[in-house]
């Protein structure tokens, strides 16, 4: 069983809805990945992320898609790219990453609670 946390621990993680506005190949990454640009609305703005989604998605599949991302991790340098948010996904049985997404249209910037 995973370690238990209290509500306050979970509440510190800021998970928001973002819309992917651009996706491009990231050939410099050690593992196949894309560079994503996401819009989180006026309060957070536009952020970038590296995401290992190449097994299930093309760049064209990703643009305009709503996703969930952690927006309050510190930025992480991945080779020549600065990743500012963590796009959430779940591994499939084959090891590819499937995005965690809202199942209907919701406003960008909305917080998971």
Q: Give the pLDDT mean for 77-99.
A: 97
pLDDT at 32 exceeding the cut of 90: yes
Give mean pLDDT, residues 39-67: 98
The answer to whether residue 39 is domain-embedded is yes
Range of the domain at 33: 7-99
d(CA 50, CA 37) in angstroms, rounded, equals 9
Q: What is the 3-state secondary structure (H, E, C) of the chain?
A: CCCCCCHHHHHCCCEEEEEEEEEEECCCCCCCCEEEEEECCCCCCEEEEEECCCCCCCHHHHCCCEEEEECCCCCEEECCEEECCEECEEECCCCCEEECCCCCCCCCCCECC
For residue 110, being part of any structural domain is answered with no
Q: Is residue 108 part of a domain?
A: no
Q: Residue 37: which CATH number?
A: 2.40.50.140
The reply to whether 107 falls in a domain is no
Q: Tell me the mean pLDDT in the region 24-38.
A: 96
Q: Would you say residue 57 has pLDDT above 90?
A: yes
pLDDT at 17 over 90: yes
In a domain, 109, yes or no: no
- On whether residue 77 sits in a domain, the answer given is yes
Residue 40 has pLDDT above 90, yes or no: yes
Mean pLDDT (whole number) for 14-27 = 98
What's the structural domain count of the chain? 1
Query: Are 51 and 84 within 8 A, CB to CB?
Result: no
């Amino acid at each position: 069983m995973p370690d238990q946390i209290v509500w306050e621990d979970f509440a510190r993680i800021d998970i928001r809805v973002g819309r992917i506005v651009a996706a491009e190949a990231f050939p410099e990454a050690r593992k196949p990945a894309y560079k994503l640009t996401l819009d989180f609305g006026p309060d957070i703005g536009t952020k970038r992320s590296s995401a290992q989604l190449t097994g299930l998605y093309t760049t064209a599949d990703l643009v305009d898609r709503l996703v969930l991302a952690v927006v309050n991790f510190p930025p992480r340098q991945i080779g020549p790219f600065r990743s500012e948010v963590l796009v959430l996904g779940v591994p499939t049985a084959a090891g590819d990453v499937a995005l965690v997404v809202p199942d209907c249209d919701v406003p960008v910037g909305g917080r998971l609670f």
